[in-house]
């Protein structure tokens, strides 16, 4: 799964399936479509996670590393 679990955070902002596993992918999609609360939770987590990747945040973090 590589870096995907790290990018999704904890609690995760998405569901992971093994690459090439179409059946599990379909199950995950159906799960989200059938569970509005899960879909909303994943959406909210995703919106929070993406803030860490705004350029101003990346620059701030990089500057902090150089300052240390």
Give the 3-state secondary structure of residue 38: helix
* Minimum mean pLDDT range among 21-25, 31-35, 37-41, 57-61: 57-61
CA atoms within 13 A on the CB side of 32: 14
pTM score over 0.85: no
pLDDT of res. 10? 93
Per the structure, how many domains does the chain have? Answer: 1
Domain that holds residue 26: 4-67
Tracing tokens 């179409």 back to the chain, one arrives at 22
pLDDT of res. 1? 67
């Amino acid at each position: 799964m590589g870096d995907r679990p790290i990018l999704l955070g904890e609690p995760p902002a998405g569901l992971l399936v093994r690459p090439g596993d179409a059946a599990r992918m379909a199950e995950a999609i159906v799960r989200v479509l059938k569970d509005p609360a899960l879909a909303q939770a994943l959406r909210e987590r995703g919106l929070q996670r993406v803030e860490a990747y705004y350029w101003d945040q990346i620059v701030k973090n990089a500057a902090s590393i150089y300052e240390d």
